[in-house]
Amino acid sequence: MKITIVAGVRPNFVKVAAIIHAIQHQQKLGVNISFRLIHTGQHYDVHMSGAFFNQLNIPSPHSNLEVGKGTQAEQTAAIMIKFEQELLSNTPDWVIVVGDVTSTMACTLAAVKLNIIVAHVEAGIRSYDRSMLEEVNRIVVDCICDLFYTTTEEASSQLEKEGIPREKIVFVGNTMVDTLVANLERLVQPDLWNDFELKTQGFLLLTMHRPSNVDHPKVFQQKINAIANAVSPLPIVFPVHPRTQKNIASSGMQLPDNIFVTNPLGYLEFMYLIKNAKGIVTDSGGVTEEATFLGIPCMTLRSSTERPETCTIGTNVLIGEDMDLLTSSLKQLIQGKWKGSNIPDLWDGRAAERIVQDLISRSPF
């Protein structure tokens, strides 16, 4: 069985690492299964891409489509054209796409139009907010792909509501958690730990990169100030996404004194910080899952989430635009009061193993 796996951005690398390792395990057991890893080049910066391949032991991509920057339409078109060529030269039995980014959607479209079957990992999650381009990507991919691996029963039910036959939906768990479980003993204390004189549970971790938070300097500054004031003098570590870096530089905004900025961190260093933080404020989806798994209090600076289980079961609280809720939640955190939480079903480190076994069981090849 030949599989082509697509990865384009930082969270994709975390997920495909688990899938590739599960395939390699089956190869060692003598199963006739091979893969090609295609990097679309959507993230290309060493902090956002190369570092992940090294740390997570992901083999070098068989091909890099090097699409780089561009508008949504330019990136979608460039990925489709180049991925179609890749599929014509190296036709697989299956394509696996993960997550909800432009690469996920563009590669699904290119494959489906060549009648190649596509499996979507992390299918069925919905924020019901189409102003997020990821939501559009999720809907398009789940309309046209062939097999659906889900992280929760709720995502499976959503797909059924959308008319997908039950036999095409498999609840497997969370590949992001797989990678976390596999690396828990390998986490690395970042150099900034000593530079910023951090202590376990003595700092807040912050990530912000969504357009709704960082594209308007006034809004961005207001949120940053509210967070910094509420927890002061607690230090805040802020690994800054390239998009956010650009906006900070162009707006000339000033960051409060208790915020320590750094480049995006390697996976092992970032997870070390999550595990040892007092709490996290983020607008990332993946980070809310990791915080839930590790039992670390988390606040999400968004009005909707496609991962509701991180709020209903896990440690996450949806803040939206409510600055009073943000401040009161941060005060609660400082007082050491946070809701109880659990880990969602099947977030046990074995999702990728289930995916690969399911693919093998379905394969006529």
Structure tokens at 43: 């993230």
The answer to whether 300 and 326 have CB atoms below 8 angstroms apart is no
> Which of the residues 39, 43, 120, 209 is marked catalytic?
209
Give 112 or 313: the residue with its C-beta nearer to ligand UDP: 313
Give 260 or 267: the residue with its C-beta nearer to ligand UDP: 267
Strand 63-64 and strand 94-98: the pairing is: unpaired
Does the active-site annotation cover 21? Answer: no
Least distance in angstroms from the C-beta of 42 to ligand UDP: 11
Least distance in angstroms from the C-beta of 360 to ligand UDP: 27
Least distance in angstroms from the C-beta of 52 to ligand UDP: 7
Least distance in angstroms from the C-beta of 33 to ligand UDP: 26
Give 231 or 280: the residue with its C-beta nearer to ligand UDP: 280
In whole angstroms, what is the distance from residue 198 CA to residue 182 CA? Answer: 25
Task: Spell out the residues 6+ positions from residue 148 whose beta carbon is closer than 8 angstroms to its own.
Answer: 119, 120, 123, 124, 142, 156, 159, 164, 168, 169, 170
Strand, coil or helix: 306: coil
- For the chain, the residue count is 365
Give 86 or 289: the residue with its C-beta nearer to ligand UDP: 289
301, 300, 321: which is closest to 311 by C-alpha? 300
Contact positions vs ligand UDP (CB under 6 A): 10-11, 14, 207, 239, 264-265, 267, 270, 284-287, 290
Give 83 or 272: the residue with its C-beta nearer to ligand UDP: 272
> What does the DSSP assignment read for 52-85?
HHHHTTPPPPSEE----S--HHHHHHHHHHHHHH
Least distance in angstroms from the C-beta of 267 to ligand UDP: 4
* Residues with active-site annotation: 209
